[in-house]
Each structure stands twice: as structure tokens, then as C-alpha cells.
Amino acid sequence: MPLNSISVLYRKEMLDTVRDRRTIISMVLVPIAAIPLLFLGMQKIISFVEKKAGQESLTISVQGGDRLPGLLNALAGAGFKFAAQPDLKAAVESKAIAAGVEAVVLPSGAKEVRLYADDTLQASQVAAGKIRMALDQFKVNSSRLRLQALGVPEEVLSPFTVKRVDLAPPKKMAGMVWGGMLGYVVVLLMFSGGMYPAIDLTAGEKERRTLEMLLSSPAGRYEIILAKVLAATTAIAITALLSLSSLAISLHYVDFGKGAKMLQGMTLDVRVLALVALALVPMAIMAASLMIGIALFAKSFKEAQSYLTPLVMAVVFPLVAGMLPGIQLTPALALVPLFNVCQLIKEIFQGDFNRLSFAITMASNLVYAGIAFLAAVQVFKSEKVLFRT
């Protein structure tokens, strides 16, 4: 009875798989730890860089301050500390100061403030930005005082004000920034999580000489390969679920600090997680079939690893394309495997996905999964592959 055989084979494959230490690490531990570590790591890096740049950017040097009364006060009010330097250009280049300010009186009598900064140095770039803002404010304040002295209303200076209304809700913004990256991380984890079980179920069986025993049992070839693909799919699905759960828990309970403000806008409700999980199902079958089909060619675990590692690396390219800003999931792009699912996840996180693109992504990935499975069946039926010496 094929269904009974498939169930017996599947249960044995799962039992064998969950007892493999390497599989448990790649299927369970890595997905649970990867996302919180990724967030925490990024938060640490961002805050470290910001803090370092903030501290370094505070020291500047001003020359000719007496030519422009109020200049030093304006800059001191912006938080800058002053260090005397004879040559501003050299001091910026040697990083002794973040930026240099020089007030000069032109031959025409007009006053000019020169700003010395190096945009390739982050501290210098930050300092230049702050100085520019402080100078703008200083200019406005000076003008205001002069107008007041002349009895001219202040509104002359600003006939209108500009207010920017950001149409992207925080959820959409967070989804755009994080969704692409999280989709990429989850898909990559799925491939790496499925790699060891796929190898163990194929090349591992060959290496341990158990495959011949299985082939001489009443189970049919189709049933055996189907059970193996199902077991690898389950391992990949477990990796995906753990990754997503870890993501949801991280967002709700882990304090990522100020550096990850963007995350606060990202809400992961059951509907979002269910949609992402659904989008990942065909990809899990495709990844399992592909890895099983390839690993079958290998005679040993090591050989299979050398076959599958480039595949996992190749997966990166379509995924990275999905992370690029401005790329939309059009119905045509929904036909591109891996890219489509990564992009779809991004749009689901943004809370703004196109139903047609969702349907095309699901359908095309199901077709690719079917093709990959049939290819794996053909490989498994090949005596040349199974008994390669």
C-alpha cells in the first residue's frame, strides 16, 4: 500500500534526521539564534559608529572668529569644542579636528565663512552637516536682529514655510527597510537548514551502505524518494517556522535600543506570518527536491557538501536582487524563482502586496517545485547515479 509505505518511510526518515547533531544545529539552533543575533549585532554596530562619529565630529577649529561676531557662540551653542590649529586643511586631513571654519572679509567688504571638511571621513562629514545647520541658524538669527532694528516685520524673511507630509506609514517604511533583508535571511536559512538533511538522506545513505537495503525492501522507488523529499521539506519548513517565530519573538520582547528604531514600526501579526509561511511552502518543496536531486550524485557526505555549498551561495544572487530598493514585484518578475518569494515577503511585511503577484509567485514556484521533484525522481531511478563507483 503506497500511502502506508510513504508514511512508514517518512517517519523513519524524520526519526533518523532529528537524531543527527549536525542537522539539529543547522535546522534548529541556527534559525533560532540567527535573527536576534543579526538584530543585536546591527544595533551594536550602528550605535558604536554613531557614538564614535558623534564624539569625533565635535572638535573643530575656528579662525578669524573675531571678524564675525557671534560665530563662536553659535558654534559653541551647537555643541562644538574648539581646538586651535594653525593650518585648518592639514588638521582636517590628519584627523586632528573634524572640520575647520574660517571667517574672512573679502576685498569687497563682504564677509565669507569657509568650511573645511573631507566628505570621505565620516566624522568630518557629520561635523560639516552640523556646522552648516548652525551657520544657517546663525544667519537667520542675525538677519532677524537686523530686521528688528530696522522695524521690518520678520515675515519678510520667510513668506511661507514648508512642511513635508510623509505618506509612508511606519509599517510600510519598516517593511521596506527590514522586509527585504528578513526575507533574504529566512530563505538563506531555509537552504542551509535543509542542506544537511538532504545530504544525510541521500549521500549519507550511500556512504553508510543502507540504501541497498532500502531498495531491496518492498517499498517502491517513487515512494522512497517522495518520503525523502517530504522529510527534507519538513526540515526546511521547521527552519522557516523557527526563523519566523524567532523574528516575531525578537520584535516583541527584545529591546534593540535606539539604533533599531525602524523596527518599532514593523508589526508581525498572525496574518502576516501566515502569509509569509504560505509563500514559503512551494519554495521549501523546490529547495528540498533540488538539494536531494543534487546530493544523490555524491558518493559521500563530503562530496555532497561540495556540490551543495555552491548552490547555497548561488541562491544569494536572486535574493540580493530582491533587496535592492525600488524593485517592485511585477507579474513578470513574479516568475523569477527565489527573487519572487523574497520580494513577496518584503511586500507582505510592508502590508502592501499585489494579489495577482502573490498568485503568480505561488503558482510559478509550485511549477518549479514540481519540475525539481520530477528531476529528483529521475535521478533516483538512475542506476548509474545510485551505484556510481
Partner 1 sequence: MIQVTNLTKTFIDPKRGAIHAVDHVSFAVHAGEIFGLLGPNGAGKTTALRLLATVMRPSEGTAVLGGHDILREPEAVRNQIGFLSGDMGLYHRLTPRETLTFFGRLHGLNGAPLKSRIGEMFARLDMEKFADTQVDKLSTGMRQRVAIARTLVADPPILILDEPASGLDVPAARVIEEFILEARKTGKTIILSTHVMEEAEYLCDRIAVIHQGQIKIVGTMAELRAATGKERLREIFLSLLGLEALERKAPHAS
Coil vs helix vs strand at 345: helix
Nearer to partner 1, 119 or 383 (CB): 383
Coil vs helix vs strand at 4: helix
Residues 61-120 that bind partner 1 (CB under 8 A): none
Using CB under 8 A as the binding rule, whether residue 4 contacts partner 1 is answered as yes
Q: How far is CA 122 from CA 56, 100, 144, 149, 261, in A?
A: 9, 15, 33, 41, 21
Q: How far is the CB of 5 from partner 1 (least distance, A)?
A: 6
Q: How far is the CB of 126 from partner 1 (least distance, A)?
A: 57
Using CB under 8 A as the binding rule, whether residue 3 contacts partner 1 is answered as no
CA distance 389 to 385: 9
The site for partner 1, by CB under 8 A, has a size of 24
Using CB under 8 A as the binding rule, whether residue 12 contacts partner 1 is answered as yes
The residue from 66, 136, 212, 269 that contacts partner 1 (CB under 8 A) is 212
Using CB under 8 A as the binding rule, whether residue 1 contacts partner 1 is answered as yes
Q: How far is the CB of 245 from partner 1 (least distance, A)?
A: 26
The residue from 84, 216, 253, 325 that contacts partner 1 (CB under 8 A) is 216
| Closest to 244 in 3D by CA, of 185, 294, 301 | 185
The residue from 25, 140, 145, 213 that contacts partner 1 (CB under 8 A) is 213
Residues 20-49 that bind partner 1 (CB under 8 A): 20
Nearer to partner 1, 212 or 269 (CB): 212
Stretch that binds partner 1, among 102-110, 136-144, 203-211, 337-345 (CB under 8 A): 203-211
Using CB under 8 A as the binding rule, whether residue 9 contacts partner 1 is answered as yes
Q: How far is the CB of 294 from partner 1 (least distance, A)?
A: 22
Q: How far is the CB of 306 from partner 1 (least distance, A)?
A: 22
CA distance 308 to 288: 12
x-or-dash string of contact with partner 1, 219-258, rule CB under 8 A: xx--------------------------------------
Residue at 371: amino acid letter: I
* Bridge partners, residue 116, by sequence: 100
Collect all residues with Cβ–Cβ distance below 8 Å to 39 and sequence separation of at least 6.
250, 254, 256, 260, 263
CA distance 207 to 199: 10
Stretch that binds partner 1, among 206-214, 261-269, 307-315, 331-339 (CB under 8 A): 206-214
Stretch that binds partner 1, among 117-125, 207-215, 238-246, 268-276 (CB under 8 A): 207-215
Residue with cell 503568480: 360
Q: What is the DSSP letter of 54?
A: H
Coil vs helix vs strand at 221: helix
Stretch that binds partner 1, among 33-41, 189-197, 211-219, 253-261 (CB under 8 A): 211-219
Collect all residues with Cβ–Cβ distance below 8 Å to 305 and sequence separation of at least 6.
195, 199
CA distance 247 to 244: 5
In the structure grid, which three cell numbers stand for residue 111, read together? Answer: 564677509
CA distance 101 to 114: 6
Stretch that binds partner 1, among 135-143, 150-158, 160-168, 217-225 (CB under 8 A): 217-225
Which helix (H) or strand (E) segment holds residue 385: the answer is helix 383-386
Residues that bind partner 1 in the complex, under the rule CB under 8 A: 1, 4-5, 8-9, 12, 15-16, 19-20, 208-213, 215-220, 383, 387
